[in-house]
Structure 1
Amino acid sequence: MPLVRSILFTVAFYLVTAALLIGGLPTLVSRRRVVWLAQTWARIILRLLDAIVGLRVEFRGLEHRPAGACLVAAKHQSALETLALVTVLDDFSYILKRELMWLPLFGWYLARSEMVAIDRSKGSRALALMNEEAAAAMADGRRLIIFPEGTRRAPGAPPAYKYGVVHMYDRLGVPCLPVALNTGVFWGRRRLTYRPGTAVIEFLPAIPPGLSRDTFYAQLQERIEAASDALVREAGQPGSPRTAVRAQET
């Protein structure tokens, strides 16, 4: 039965996505309309996920979201948070690889919504260009979402944070909102089935601007990893070895 429900959801996901990509073409006239369409799409998909699979998303710590522009640094375990985060962030932009802009139809929406794209072919120049686009997004008052590890990590896997988020925090001068989650327990990176239950996405207290790079880097990783491991254990799975070692030390 879980496999059947997963297949049904997957079919529904692609049908709804295709319908909105085609039917939503008129929204390409403005960035605001594309953002609205993206949020509508995500809400529909989350409802389908709940109705078909029995998997719902619970948000915690919404009161920690700062007003105005901020950097949102989220743990990345599955595609689920990519969908879910846009439903509770009123004006968002993602940091993503430029190759996604080349996808038929979907890439048009990404380009029109002014996502911050990383062109890795430019080498060291890529970081400077990304920071310029990010600064423009901050001037527009957006919530800029970044996955500091750069790719999805399985629950319990050792953290692999990259330093790009530190450069961005130092350059932008805005609060950073850490996000912990346990979505990978329910929606795996390479699984064809989805597990019913309640996936939790938790917004943690914002880190104010102005900290030194090393202090920010340590605080961000420690907060996200400790909270994410707690959520993974809450879902009945073991936390990361790094967190287990810290617990033994204390």
Structure 2
Amino acid sequence: MATAIQWVRSLIFMIVIYAWMLILGVLFAPYALLTKRGALHACKTYARTTMWLASWMVGIRCEVRGAVPVDEVVIGAKHQSFLDIIMIFDAIPHGKFIMKRELLWTPVIGMYARRLGCIPVDRGKRGAAVAKMVKDVAKEFTEPGQLVIYPQGTRVAPGVRKPYKIGTAVLYEGLGFPCVPVATNAGVFWPRTGVLRKPGLAIVDFLDPIESGVGRDAFLARLEDAIETRSDALMKEVGFDPDGVH
């Protein structure tokens, strides 16, 4: 019975946040089209209200740990859920994301992604996509900001292992910025598929930066070890055993 009630609450929550996305997107559209500051303000407002709604509608509390970067950096983040996106975006001053090209055609999201300076990537072209990504990012970084990339390339369910892709290392090397690893357990409560949202403490943790100038292989090894070790610890902290997933 309790699960059924939580499922209904989750469904209502999902309807509300997507309706709110549309309403907010339309209301802020003139401001966002006029200036990037308007787009940033709209997206920050959406992130904060969504986390607030999650706290009382489905019982998900959000906590950000670690030193949040404010300078130009690459952020290599664990990606389990839509929730970790909005938590990271709310925490950093000027976030830009490496994103799937298909999202540019999504209503509301596409327009605001363009205005924020997010970088679309065609994931089907591999080497060519990586080269174009580095070129596009270098062109876009005429304004300071924090560039968020997901080293595994997609959302990964808690406890599931997927390889870290070379694109993050190429980007880190090409830009010459430090890289801040980010761990999370958000997918335990807000899964990548399905309706049910579970109550609990969702955490995003900004870890110690990896200095610029580290070789590709060593960089990827350090990044993966930092993110996976800390994400596993955060999941265990809230009672989820990532080692028990097969």
C-alpha contact (below 8 Å) 2:69/2:92 kept by paired residues? no
Looking at structure 2, the residues matched to 216 and 103 of structure 1 have their Cα atoms a distance apart, in angstroms, of 34
Find the residue that maps to 1:148 and give its secondary structure: coil
Please tell me the residue identity of whatever aligns with 1:187.
W
C-alpha contact (below 8 Å) 2:180/2:206 kept by paired residues? yes
Looking at structure 1, the residues matched to 228 and 115 of structure 2 have their Cα atoms a distance apart, in angstroms, of 34
What runs of 5+ residues in structure 1 fail to find an aligned partner? 243-250
Q: Deviation digits for residues 17-58 of structure 1, max 9, x if unmatched?
A: 111111111121112210121111110111000111110111
Please tell me the residue identity of whatever aligns with 2:194.
R
Aligned length: 240
C-alpha contact (below 8 Å) 2:22/2:108 kept by paired residues? no
Looking at structure 1, the residues matched to 18 and 24 of structure 2 have their Cα atoms a distance apart, in angstroms, of 10
- Describe how 1:162-201 pairs up with structure 2 within 5 A: 162-201=165-204
**For residue 10 of structure 2, what is the aligned residue in structure 1?**
6
Residue 47 of structure 2 corresponds to residue 42 of structure 1: yes
Q: Deviation digits for residues 140-196 of structure 1, max 9, x if unmatched?
A: 221000111011111111232111101111111001000001011101111211001
Find the residue that maps to 1:40 and give its secondary structure: helix
Looking at structure 1, the residues matched to 213 and 244 of structure 2 have their Cα atoms a distance apart, in angstroms, of 31
Match of 2:92 among 89, 107, 129: 89
Q: Deviation digits for residues 53-107 of structure 1, max 9, x if unmatched?
A: 110111110x2x3442000110011111111111111011000111111123331
Match of 1:18 among 16, 22, 38: 22
> How far apart are 1:222 and its partner, in Å?
0.3
Please tell me the residue identity of whatever aligns with 2:81.
S
Residue 75 of structure 2 corresponds to residue 69 of structure 1: no
What runs of 5+ residues in structure 2 fail to find an aligned partner? none
Find the residue that maps to 1:100 and give its secondary structure: helix
Find the residue that maps to 1:145 and give its secondary structure: strand
Which is worse superposed, 121-130 or 203-212? 121-130
